[in-house]
Amino acid sequence: MTDLIRSACLSSYPEVARSLGLDPLRLLAAAGIDRRSLDGDPDVRISAGALGRLLESSARAAGVDDFGLRLAETRTLAVLGPVGLLVREEATVRDALQSLMRYIPLHNESLHLRLEERDGMAIASVEIRVRRPVPIRQGTELTVGVLYRILRQLVGSHWRPLVCFAHDAPKRRDTCRRLFGGRAEFGHDFNGIVCSRRDLDRPIPTSDPVLARHARRHLDSLLARPDASIADKVRELIFLQLSGGRCRADLVAGQLGIDRRTLHRRLARDNLSFSEVLEAVRTEIVTRALPSRERPLAALADMLGFSSLSAFSRWFHTRFGASPTAWRHRTARLQLASASSR
């Protein structure tokens, strides 16, 4: 079998390659990666070994030894797709790392994460395992760099853990200093990030336990059923992009590498339409998030992709027969009565 990675790992590769005077399409072909992996569905799978060859050949062709770090500079939490969504909503850094360890195979089957805590310190180490030996320096630097950026995105730019690599230092450390702020060391016996154990208890400001539970159930279903249907993929894309207002059928179809008519035809095989899937996702999110008084209705309207609070309120009343405020109050009373009867 071949270890596979979501094609989202190729995001920004063409731009970084061109900035170094390279032809990204030629290098993709030489590595055995279909150029169509750059388009459409971020969940198209490519070979982990092929990606490793691509990164190493790109570094050689450009005459740089920090190509992976240059790619890492462009990455955000969004590259992890649904796994990133859960990580963003976890309560603490420890919770986020544990979720990454559990669900990272959904993003990259060749990547293994381990968290060790000892002597007041915590080590989050990464290991790339591929079935055929290939150079992995660039892949390792990309992985550690992305992990570093993700954690700092969650905790805040003030957080500066120590970054360790098993290989030798690059000839020039410009990118390394820019990315890690001088907090990187080479020649260690592992690749990863070292911080105080107390840092794992740092709260994540974006945390939302309701959405975390929802995302966790979704990822658990993907772990149990890796070959998702077209309806599952549409639900996932809608769930990830609702708040950005990018949930039109034509855009989702494009991300899946098909046209709008084909999308409708494939959904129809499951007796579904795009609008029905959209409504189902919105309904699932709102029924989980609305009971929490901590979330303003305007923020919830944004989360569901509505242009205004009034548009959200009209949709909600049509769907549930009550205003969002009345529904929230009624749900709170029911929950209180249920708790009192126990």
| 21 class by beta-carbon count within 10 Å (0-12 exposed, 13-18 middle, 19+ buried) | exposed
What integer pLDDT is reported at residue 244 of this predicted model? 61
pLDDT of residue 1: 39
Exposure on the CB side of residue 280, measured as CA atoms within 13 A: 11
Predicted confidence (pLDDT) per residue in 261-311, tens digit: 988 998 998 889 999 999 988 988 888 788 877 778 998 888 888 889 999
Question: Cα–chain-centroid distance for residue 67?
Answer: 21
The reported pLDDT for the residue numbered 223 is 77
Task: Give residue-wise pLDDT tens across range 229-261.
Answer: 778 778 877 876 676 666 788 877 765 657 889
- pLDDT attached to residue 42: 77
pLDDT in tens, 44-60: 778 788 888 899 999 99
- pLDDT mean over 170-189: 90
- The per-residue pLDDT for 228 is 57
Q: Rounded distance, CA 190 to CA 68, Å?
A: 17
32-36, 155-159, 324-328: which range is least confident on average? Answer: 32-36
| Residue 130 pLDDT greater than 80, yes or no | no
User: Angle, nearest 10°, between helix axes 24-31 and 48-62?
Assistant: 140
Residue 219 CB neighbours (<10 A): 20
pLDDT the model gives residue 41: 67
Instruction: Give the Cα-Cα-Cα angle 123, 129, 131 (nearest 5 degrees).
Output: 170
- What's residue 245's pLDDT? 64
Q: How far apart are CA 311 and CA 305, in angstroms?
A: 10
Distance between CA atoms of residues 100 and 203, nearest Å:
16
> What's the pLDDT tens digit per position in 2-15?
577 888 899 899 99
DSSP 9: G
Task: Answer for the pair 132, 1: CB distance below 8 angstroms, yes or no.
Answer: no
Instruction: For residue 110, give every residue at least 6 positions away whose Cβ sits within 8 Å of its Cβ, in sequence order, or none.
Output: 3, 5, 48, 128, 129, 130
Nearest Cα neighbor of 87 from 76, 103, 99, 72 is 99
- Name the DSSP letter for residue 108: B
Q: CA dist 272 to 20, 55, 61, 266, Å? A: 46, 41, 48, 9
Calculate ∠ Cα 185-80-252, nearest 5°.
Answer: 150
Question: Domains along the chain?
Answer: 4-201 (3.90.1520), 209-340 (1.10.10.60)
- Residues 6 or more apart whose Cβ sits within 8 Å of residue 84: 77, 78, 150
Please report which confidence band the pLDDT of residue 18 belongs to, taking 50, 70 and 90 as the band edges: very high
d(CA 238, CA 223): 19
Q: What is the chain's percent helix, strand, coil content, to nearest 5?
A: 60, 10, 30
| Structure-token pair, residue 92 | 């603490």
Q: Which residue has the tokens 């070292």?
A: 194
pLDDT higher than threshold 60 for residue 172:
yes
Distance of CA 101 to the CA centre of its chain: 13
326 CB neighbour count, 10 Å cutoff: 13
Residue with more model confidence, 135 or 56:
56
Mean pLDDT of 26-50: 80
pLDDT of 205 strictly over 60: yes
